[in-house]
Chain A
Amino acid sequence: AQSVTQLGSHVSVSEGALVLLRCNYSSSVPPYLFWYVQYPNQGLQLLLKYTTGATLVKGINGFEAEFKKSETSFHLTKPSAHMSDAAEYFCAVSLSGGGADGLTFGKGTHLIIQP
């Protein structure tokens, strides 16, 4: 069975500062990894995903994440935070490359942007 751990239920950064949201996973097979963002009263939106190939993945809104197999990590970063980045962020793992299973999510990290 797979699992996802997101360190820090709340992360606060100043506008313009580096954003780092941590995600570690456990999986018995090579995983497929995702970051989703959830704004209040909205559905989950995919930020980026890792399937195979390049381990540094770029997503929307200036976010990127790096898959590190040796560390079983998939941390999300953004060089410069914007007020509009304030939201809930979820890391998720799938064992299927074709979507033939449900995603396993972490508990989420609430990102707070200080002006």
Chain B
Amino acid sequence: DTGVSQDPRHKITKRGQNVTFRCDPISEHNRLYWYRQTLGQGPEFLTYFQNEAQLEKSRLLSDRFSAERPKGSFSTLEIQRTEQGDSAMYLCASSLALWGNNEQFFGPGTRLTVL
């Protein structure tokens, strides 16, 4: 068990470009969550998956944001037509879906800078 990993750790892009981030959860975890954290704020929940099903996506910030988890393992978060306001840390977390177990394990994050 190597924990939750995210790739890349840092991404610098120009405004208007598309970016994609990857998250690999802990291997036996069937739930996967995405959060955004801006400077001086706590993480903000965006979306989550149980296996390959995206069960909550109403909190995605705009239609420029989308996420997939096609085989129920790793997930990708894509931001299209990036804006400077998208600059933030994007965090991924995973958990095992059992009643009474709502502990989420977080990855190190991907820091996005939009120029």
Q: Do A and B interact?
A: yes
Q: Closest A-chain residue to B103, C-beta based?
A: A46
0/1 interface trace, chain B 46-87, chain A, CB 8 Å (1 if under): 111010000110010000000000000000000000000000
Number of chain B residues close to chain A: CB under 8 A: 33
Interface of B is mostly: strand
For window 96-115 of B, CB contacts with A under 8 Å fall at: 97-109
Q: Do A99 and B56 form a contact, CB below 8 Å, given A32-B102, A41-B108, A43-B108? A: no
Task: For B7, list chain A residues within 8 Å (CB).
Answer: none
CB of B101 within 8 A of CB of A99, answer yes
Q: State which size class the interface on A falls in.
A: 20 to 34
Interface of A is mostly: loop
Judge if A82 is at the interface, Cβ distance under 8 Å.
Answer: no
Per the bound structure, the CA–CA distance linking A112 and B109 in Å amounts to 23
Taking beta carbons and an 8 Å cutoff, which residues of B are in contact with A? 4, 31, 33, 35, 40-48, 50, 55-56, 59, 91, 93, 95, 97-109
